[in-house]
Structure 1
Amino acid sequence: MMEEAEEARRGRGAVLDLALREDLDLFSLDDLADRIGFLEAEITRCRAQIARKAAGREAADALFRKPED
């Protein structure tokens, strides 16, 4: 049971860090192409999250902005 709790506590980005350290020599051409596809999809997902967070931040800033004189 203790191992499960430790497994759940991985830091943010730990899985990505492991993926970045993998030896690419072990991958086939198809595997590498698939990997690029997954990474591009993750970049798209991250950019969408950035846009959502920026929109939320802008809305909060507008709500709490002091009225101009």
Structure 2
Amino acid sequence: MARRGRVQLRRIEDKASRQVRFSKRRAGLFKKAFELALLCDVEVALLVFSPVGKLYEYSSSSVHIEQDYS
């Protein structure tokens, strides 16, 4: 089985494609944060700002992140 090479990371030029990729990556990141909290019994907080500055947040507890860290 051949090994995969490194993926070249670079900015996505097409705005629509970039927004779609951001949404999918954000969902995957939030899922991983949830899994980490569940499997390892830890508190996880995640803040993500979109390219237009919109805040998305995840917290494994009922704590409001933006109140504590803004």
TM-score (norm 2): 0.45
Q: Which has the higher helix share?
A: 1
TM-score (norm 1): 0.46
Rg larger for: 1
Higher relative contact order (CA 8 A, sep 6+): 2
